[in-house]
Amino acid sequence: MQIAFLLFDGITPLDAVGPFEVLGKLPGADVRMVGKHKGEVRTKGQSLAMIADYALAEIPTPDILVVPGGPGADPSAEDKEITDWVARVHETTTWTTSVCTGALILGGAGVLKGLKATTHWRAMEDLKAFGAEPVDQRVVRQGKVITAAGVSSGIDMALTLAAEIAGEDIAKAIQLGIEYAPEPPFDAGHFRDAPSARIEMVRSGLNRP
């Protein structure tokens, strides 16, 4: 079971690493980190690097596609080399997924047309431009397409997918193994309840290392 994670400059690392920690533990998982070119991609602030071991052309038919988000997702959604590859592999995937603004890349590839989908709150309205119906939920499944909202919801998406693939017992064992039992110190993780000053702090780049 080949699982391809799309990497690009400006990625939010947890969008990829969270699902990796879950899906990489599935029986038979063969994880491939893929980018436009082999080698490093870096976060927006250049402080963290991830490595693409494969170029796009080397991964033509993954069983599962995971598309993370981050500030670099916006230009990647307009990069035909990336979107053409996503559209091509989507034709034969068993599951096509995104985390956070990775949904914009799926949208740019035409994957979300006519589907309900979610993404990070700052990009929710952008989904309409790709013919998708934005839905304010942590995880949205439409056939073989699963989209997740901001960053941490990628773990929820991956556990949902793990249960579909290997059953609830395996998914719950993976959840226990990573001790995923969130008890955040603040009730401040949802856009609906946030004051305007805090929203502006996020928009201005505070949460984009």
Measure Cα distances from 29 to 54, 79, 139, 165 in Å: 16, 29, 22, 11
**How many helices (H) and strands (E) are present in the chain, helices listed first?**
7, 11
Decide if 135 is catalytic. Answer: no
Residue from 100, 111, 112, 140 carrying the catalytic annotation: 100
Task: Report the alpha-carbon distance of residue 110 to residue 184 in Å, rounded.
Answer: 36
The residues, any chain, with a CB within 8 Å of residue 89's CB and separated by 6 or more, are: 4, 59, 60, 61, 62, 65, 96
User: How many residues are given for the chain?
Assistant: 209
Catalytic residue set: 100
